[in-house]
Chains A and B, each alone.
Chain A
């Protein structure tokens, strides 16, 4: 469990001192609501990663990180439900393994991270212009080339269709529209207001001293804070009016199928672990209904699974299938959902799923990044669970609970990205 302390209003430090890992892992999240500023918010971390006041180019940053025994730094955005978060990652070796003063190395590392985050390279009243221009162009390329990874592209289309009109439909990198008119000074103003006013969560896991970290981050971030502004997130669950079925065509050989179900349950709900077990029995494991019937029995797919999004509150099923066998695959999937909803679950299926979920939960507790990722979900959803309570909640789920969950699930969207079977979709190349 993290020890949490308030650095300033709206800005918290969560630390987990442990000798389990040979590195210290840190993540800093700046929260914002997913909305009209999504593109600007997505741009910021890309610009931040280009250079700071003391480390003015990527080359300077990389060189400094190499000197810190190969410390690692990353900057990106994350979408959790209706939240968009700037997500800074930093990891540094525990110096005691390298014959170094561990405290000193960590302090230097945290200094570097704080410098990168809070002291961007500026020019006049804005970010350094060449960085902005180039990162606008990179972001444009990034949004355009989602199509190059067909599975990510299909997922993005599915989300856009199912959640049309809701903030959640917005892509985590924002939109192409408006990218041309981004100004370096507005962008800097935007970032400064995020740093000053928005909720910030700092997580550190490893061989660390709480007090020293607290002082260091309070110095680094304290004076930037001014006028905390809590976010107002609309997390209401929507009910589907009618089933949407959308089929789209692309140049690909395997069809990609998605089914999306609405459910008024999120990570903070008491029923969350019932939903998790439901999803696990349906398609969370190789012993699950979907894997067994769509893959092993019908030989229709290499991958087929169900997954819960506990931040937004929905369940999705995803499979890669031959384009001509859409109806067959859909029929089997719906049959398996119906069977589960009717309570047709053996005690073997239920027990194996619960064991599998407990096993993967405990395994995730062995990874600093997974521990932090659970921490930020809990921070945004304002709930905190002990590991024992999670395991208890999973173990307590019954078949009746699954039936109850089935009653709450409503099929909202079926999306199929269809390929062209039979013909070779590719030209040229070598034989």
Chain B
């Protein structure tokens, strides 16, 4: 009490098209905060995230200390464990406020969120508190191992999950995207309270994090509360120069794929076949978001329901409605995944390669390009209906080094040449690995 916390907003960003705006401020400790007021919704939603995910296993705190190497699965384990604090269980405290709380771990980030229709500021205070207060004992870590082992086992029974993990293992030689986000039952066996504390210290620093709030809330109240809880104390100010800013260590990944194909037998009725195309054109900042849009648009044009290739595959019974495509670009990995259930994986893969070859020879029609761009712009509006979508999109784009409202402008900037460039340079056999799950 008694600490006066005045915080200056850094301004508002408005989108004329969306008729939405968000406000930005920074705590004295370096946390970026964004609030998007949205009226008419019962729900208020907050997401507090760190740029620390499953791939960040190796890091250095500063030049003096050596590199730390941690087992796969720590980010996810840490996410589970932060829900326990000295007072008890965080779920119960949110339940007491009538709110629901959850968290997710991805390859590059971990996010904590709550959704509530009541007691918003108390919930926010609790969120900021539990995420920043590590508390681990050998007993509680041991108990969590059992729960996470069941989570890992559940995924091992899912063929779609297996075919994807196998694909990542074929596409990449050393990149950590090879590992499952939760790790393995063996790797989580090596996680101790010390490892968890070290990783929390390294990555749960306000400068490495972001807070996003959406709903009928007053931005100033959010900013003041966060400054009060997470602003710099006098001691921290004195230590300013030595405050840790973590450096991630990533192994150098070759351009080639590790294996051209990988196959596994499981108790399935039909084979599953996924094609992975490594994208070796890695980007940063606005270029990274642009890359994400180019890749997604290219896949939509080439494999979407309007494409000749999709019609061919569907009408020849090589795919069903479960067929899907996905493009992802991060700072140190990027790839396209194309796949689904098929009775004939060989013919399926061959048809896709032939379709891509044809597209390269004929080129992409401008009309189709314009049509799909329009579809993407319309599709962006859909994402503004649900607060949870807004929050997770905002944060994922923020950590990519760009901003949510740039999406529409950037989509307008993409040219037919961008899409064809991606098709010609990356969607090629040299970058391809195929993962198949066949019936036992």
- A residues within 8 Å of B by Cβ? 18-23, 57-59, 61-63, 65-72, 91, 93-94, 97-98, 130, 134, 137-138, 141-142, 144-150, 250-254, 285-287, 291, 295-296, 299-303, 320-322, 348, 352, 355-356, 358-360, 362-363, 365-368, 419, 425-430
Known A66-B374, A320-B150, A363-B42; contact A145-B19, beta-carbon cutoff 8 A = no
A sample of 14 cross-chain residue pairs with beta-carbon separation below 8 angstroms, ordered by A number, consists of A22-B381, A22-B382, A22-B384, A22-B385, A94-B381, A97-B18, A145-B341, A148-B272, A285-B100, A287-B92, A299-B147, A352-B98, A368-B385, A428-B265
Which residue from B19, B115, B262, B304 sits with its C-beta under 8 Å from A430?
B262
Complex Cα distance, B372 from A115, in Å, reads 23
CA distance A246 to B320 in the complex (A): 33
Q: Which residues of B contact A360 (CB under 8 A)?
A: 100
Chain A contacts of B305 at CB under 8 A?
Answer: 58-59, 61-62
- Are B270 and A359 in touch, CB under 8 angstroms? no
User: Is the CB–CB distance between B157 and A427 below 8 Å?
Assistant: no
Contact B42 A321 (CB under 8 A): no
A254 near B154: Cβ-Cβ < 8 Å: yes
A369 to chain B, nearest CB (A): 9
B-side contacts of A94, CB under 8 Å? 381
CB of B380 to closest CB in A, whole Å: 9
Contact (Cβ within 8 A) A254 B153: yes
Assess whether B146 is interfacial by the CB under 8 Å rule. yes
B320 A430 Cβ-Cβ under 8 A: no
Q: Report B127-160 CB contacts with A as 1/0, cut-off 8 Å.
A: 0000000000000000111111011011011111
A116 shortest CB reach to chain B, Å: 14
Question: In the assembly, what is the distance between CA of A79 and CA of B27, in Å?
Answer: 51
List residues of chain B with CB within 8 A of the CB of A356. 95, 98, 100
**Residues in chain B near residue A71, CB distance under 8 A:** 378
Residues of A within 8 A of B117 (CB): 358-359, 362-363
Q: Contact: B42 with A365, CB < 8 Å?
A: yes
Interface residues in B13-46 (C-beta closer than 8 Å to A): 17-19, 40-43
Beyond A250-B267, A427-B440, whether A98 also contacts B95 by CB under 8 A is no
Main secondary structure of the interface of A (DSSP, over half): mixed
Q: Does B284 contact A (CB under 8 A)?
A: no
Other CB < 8 Å A-B pairs besides A149-B159, A253-B153, 6 of them? A22-B384, A23-B385, A299-B146, A302-B150, A366-B41, A426-B264
Residues on the A chain within 8 Å of B92, using CB: 286-287, 352
Q: Counting CB contacts under 8 A, is B266 at the interface?
A: yes
Q: Which residues of B contact A59 (CB under 8 A)?
A: 305-308, 310-311
Q: Which residue of B lies closest to A292 (CB)?
A: B89
Asked if residues B115 and A358 are in contact (CB atoms below 8 Å), the reply is no
Whether B270 lies near A19 (C-beta < 8 A) is: no
Verify if B315 is at the interface (C-beta below 8 Å from A): yes
Does B125 interact with chain A (Cβ within 8 Å)?
no
User: Residue B421 at the A interface, CB < 8 A?
Assistant: no
Q: Is the CB of B154 within 8 A of A66?
A: no
How distant is B20 from chain A, measured CB to nearest CB, in Å?
9
CB pair A352 B96 closer than 8 Å: yes
Task: Assess whether A148 is in contact with B314, with CB atoms less than 8 Å apart.
Answer: no
Given contacts A287-B95, A429-B262, contact A419 B154 (CB under 8 A): no
B269: Cβ under 8 A from any A Cβ:
yes
Q: Which of A66, A426, A428 contacts B371 (CB 8 A)?
A: A66
Do B378 and A98 have beta carbons less than 8 Å apart?
yes
In the A-B complex, the 6 residue pairs with the smallest Cβ-Cβ separation, listed nearest first, are: A69-B378, A355-B98, A299-B146, A251-B267, A62-B305, A70-B375
Cα–Cα, bound, A91→B40 (Å): 20
- A425 with B371, Cβ < 8 A, contacts A59-B311, A300-B146 known: no
CB contacts (< 8 Å) of A19 on chain B: these are: 40
Q: Which residues on the A side are within 8 Å of B371 (C-beta)?
A: 63, 66-67
Contact present for A362 and B147 (CB under 8 Å): no
Q: Is B116 on the interface with A (CB-CB < 8 A)?
A: yes
Q: Which A residue sits closest to B92, measured CB to CB?
A: A287
CB-nearest residue of chain A relative to B148? A302
Query: Which A residues are CB-close (under 8 A) to B148?
Result: 302
B263: Cβ under 8 A from any A Cβ: yes
Contacts of B156 in A (CB 8 A): 253-254, 426
Structural contact, B381 and A93, CB atoms closer than 8 A: yes
B269 touches A147 (CB 8 A): yes
A49 closest partner in B (C-beta):
B321
Q: Is the CB of A285 within 8 A of B306?
A: no
When the two chains form their complex, are residues B267 and A70 in contact, meaning their CB atoms are under 8 A apart? no
A249 to chain B, nearest CB (A): 11
